[in-house]
Structure 1
Amino acid sequence: MSTKTSELLALAEPGTVAVVRGISDDHLDRPTPCRDYTVRDLLNHLFDVVVNFEALARREEVDWSVRTDHLTSGWRDRFPKEAARLVETWSDPAVLEGVSAGMGVPQKTIGSMALIDLTVHGWDLARATDQEFTVDPSVVTALHEFLDERGDMGQRMGVFAAPVPTAAAPGTVDALLGRTGRDPAWSR
């Protein structure tokens, strides 16, 4: 089975996995476009994202304040497995029903939150480590729709920084990045 959420996650996952696999140890202390995060910090956060959003799909409560050092032996091989489990967990249509335990928002919203984190943080890491990153157009469209619905709330909660004005055409990756508080032209 699959859901629209799992299909979109399946489109986003390979690009982010490729970026994670391409990160070398000498990249870990570099800054990222995600304010206050080094590559190491953002990798640990991205691991938390895939593990926690998988748990949220199973209606488990998650404590986002817990910080785990995921960058232990074999982390480059573990991340693709965790990301694949994230996609698989969201493929059950029952996962999208109802409201999330502990977060009080529709499960569909939780799935979109997983998608935006996987995608935007993939871009953050790619930019910080001088790698290419391409986002499938259907993912871009879905994320713009999500931001239309929930972007203001995300900004109020501190999930997104203030939007960065861009000259990008509406509906593009660069416009999406600007809406999440990133400068698409960011460089180290």
Structure 2
Amino acid sequence: MTFNKTVFLPVDPDAAFALITEPERLRRWKTVAARVDLRVGGDYRWTITPGHSAMGSFTEIEPGKRIVYTWGWEGDAGLPPGASTVTVNLEAVDGGTTVQLIHEGLNEQQEASHAEGWNHFLERLVLLAANGDAGPDEWAAVPDPMNELTSAEAALAVAQRVLRGLNESHLALPTPCADFTVAALLDHLFGSIASIGKSLGVTVADQPGGSAEVRIADAAQATLEAFRANGTEGTLDMGFAELPATLVANILNLELVVHAWDFATATGQELTVAPALSDYVLGLARNTISPQMRGKSFAAETLVDESSASMERLVAFTGRQVAGI
């Protein structure tokens, strides 16, 4: 079975090629996280939705014209990485570019599920090319199943939208974290993600001169991929202590979701978090933040009404003051 669909993008072929190959652009319509080695024989790993990562390698590359790559799902015996093939043809037309996507090597059931997925993401690609923003992806909002790693991937999707809205004029602004400017909080967040990556055996490269979104997203991608490979059993050496891997995953969730709120609050951005995700991360916070941590890593819990939204209860539990409360 083969899926075959063509859409029109109001951009030139080079811009269209960038949208379907570059991690920063893939994250805006198709992936939560993306690693790409764009060369023939190079591989990729794309977290399409939390808990679901596509993997394969590139077999043909003609910039601005065509790209062919193998496709499969990490941990899926029915369609493992490399089991099928995706071809994307680009053609310049009046006013823009047509993008033809052909997915071959699927059985009938796989074709039906992939058709649903490709239709969803190609629609988002068209929105991005036309409007500059495809909006938050509802498919990434609530992981299924929900666990420490899928929630961290969903938290990354939340954080990236806020980070994308940061610019140089925001760096000196104060944040809800006492004594932290936006720039200092970005350094802190990167350092936390990098230290977790180090405990998992990966070196996370810093890009302090790049955009906030690219800096944090690339660090989180490498760390989350390593966490997926390592799992949440046993302990991790964090340098200052050996911690249960589940506790470290909890910390990663808190870093991404709570600091996304900090950045959004500091810069006047809207933060979109599904209640199911903030409920879950609030549960992780209650299992992570002990009374002994108050006054050190976390301020004292602030008071909010029990009827408040779970995101408000989460940030209050971490010691932040919720406006209007």
TM-score in terms of structure 1 length: 0.82
Quote how far apart the aligned CAs of 1:98 are: 1.1
Percent identity, please.
Answer: 27
Determine the structure 2 residue equivalent to 1:63: none
Determine the structure 2 residue equivalent to 1:90: 227
- Distance between the aligned counterparts of 1:23 and 1:52, measured in 2? 23
Number of equivalent positions: 178
Consecutive unaligned residues of structure 1, counting only runs of 5 or more, are 61-68
- Distance between the aligned counterparts of 2:255 and 2:272, measured in 1? 15
Describe how 1:28-177 pairs up with structure 2 within 5 A: 28-58=171-201, 71-92=208-229, 94-101=230-237, 102=239, 103-153=241-291, 155-156=293-294, 158-169=296-307, 172-177=310-315
RMSD: 2.7
Structure 1 residue matching 2:305: 3-state secondary structure? coil
Quote how far apart the aligned CAs of 1:105 are: 2.0
Determine the structure 2 residue equivalent to 1:6: 149
Task: Specify which structure has the bigger relative contact order, considering alpha-carbon pairs within 8 angstroms and separated by 6 or more residues.
Answer: 1
Amino acid in structure 2 at the alignment position of 1:4: N
Could you tell me whether the CA contact under 8 Å between 2:166 and 2:212 is conserved in 1?
no
Could you tell me whether the CA contact under 8 Å between 2:315 and 2:322 is conserved in 1?
yes
Consecutive unaligned residues of structure 2, counting only runs of 5 or more, are 1-73, 76-145
- Distance between the aligned counterparts of 1:141 and 1:75, measured in 2? 27
Structure 2 residue matching 1:86: 3-state secondary structure? helix
C-alpha distance 177-84 of structure 1, shift in aligned 2 (>3 A): same
| Structure index of larger Rg | 2
Determine the structure 2 residue equivalent to 1:65: none
Structure 2 residue matching 1:91: 3-state secondary structure? helix
Determine the structure 1 residue equivalent to 2:108: none
> Higher strand fraction: Structure 1 or Structure 2?
2
Amino acid in structure 2 at the alignment position of 1:127: T
Structure 1 residue matching 2:255: 3-state secondary structure? helix
Quote how far apart the aligned CAs of 1:126 are: 0.8
- Distance between the aligned counterparts of 1:161 and 1:83, measured in 2? 25
Could you tell me whether the CA contact under 8 Å between 2:174 and 2:182 is conserved in 1?
yes
- Distance between the aligned counterparts of 2:224 and 2:178, measured in 1? 27
- Distance between the aligned counterparts of 2:185 and 2:304, measured in 1? 24
